[in-house]
Amino acid sequence: MSVLERFIIANQRLSGAIERRLPTVFRQHIYTVYKYKAAELINRRSRQIVLDVGGGKDCPFLPFLKAPCGHLIVALDISQEELRRNRQLANKIVADAASDRLPLRDGSIDLVLSRSVVEHIRDNAVFFANCARVLRPGGIMMHAFPGRFAPFALMNQLLPNRLARRLVGYLHPHWREEDNYGFLAYYNRCYFSALKDLLHKNDFTNSGSIYFITKAFILIFSFHFTF
């Protein structure tokens, strides 16, 4: 058994041991929590405009919406090829979510969502500023992403991307079949103190839900103007 294989097994055992001691709510897979919470936020009221950042090949929350046709859901992704894979949505925008020329009007969005996107953004200061700009007052954003110092994230930062892709493909063969894995990750400001600073600078307030677990976390924040 190689050193890398021993490291992976040790990491899995350690994560499992920690997870068994957590409250039940934290034992769910982070992306299971994400899709149900996203659906809950959308179902709260009708006729919302929802921006799904990194909208790629699917929207995992769609099956859980009470009236999906009652909302305008827009998928945004930097990759046109990824957006082509998404057969669920008609409204798509090819753009960089961290660009200062994001083609969305100020105060035009009710809810900004993302899953496994924040860690791939080079400059999250720009991204969170964009979220604040496009959200209406009282709008909400929710992002699910791995923390910078999670064991697998540390390994991803240490390994060359080509090797990291091979490793992820080995550990998750179904991802390899879909050819939808191993995108370059930067983990820019993906830790609590840096994110807290970004949220404060952009006038976000906690709407009552923030989850931290051993491998990833979800942030759910409301946006308010300050005068």
Summarize pLDDT for 119-155 with one digit per residue, the tens.
Answer: 999 999 999 999 999 999 989 999 988 888 776 666 6
For residue 179, being part of any structural domain is answered with no
For residue 173, being part of any structural domain is answered with no
Residue appearing with tokens 């929207």: 59
Q: Which pLDDT belongs to residue 170?
A: 63
For residue 176, being part of any structural domain is answered with no
- What band does 98 get if pLDDT is binned at 50, 70 and 90? very high
- What band does 173 get if pLDDT is binned at 50, 70 and 90? low
Q: Which pLDDT belongs to residue 42?
A: 96
Our count of domains for the chain comes to: 1
State the burial class of residue 103 (Cβ atoms within 10 Å of its Cβ: 0-12, 13-18, 19+).
exposed
CATH number where 125 lies: 3.40.50.150
| Structural domain for 22, as ranges | 17-147+189-223
For residue 168, being part of any structural domain is answered with no
Q: Taking 90 as the threshold, does the pLDDT of residue 225 lie above it?
A: no
H/E segment holding residue 19: helix 3-20
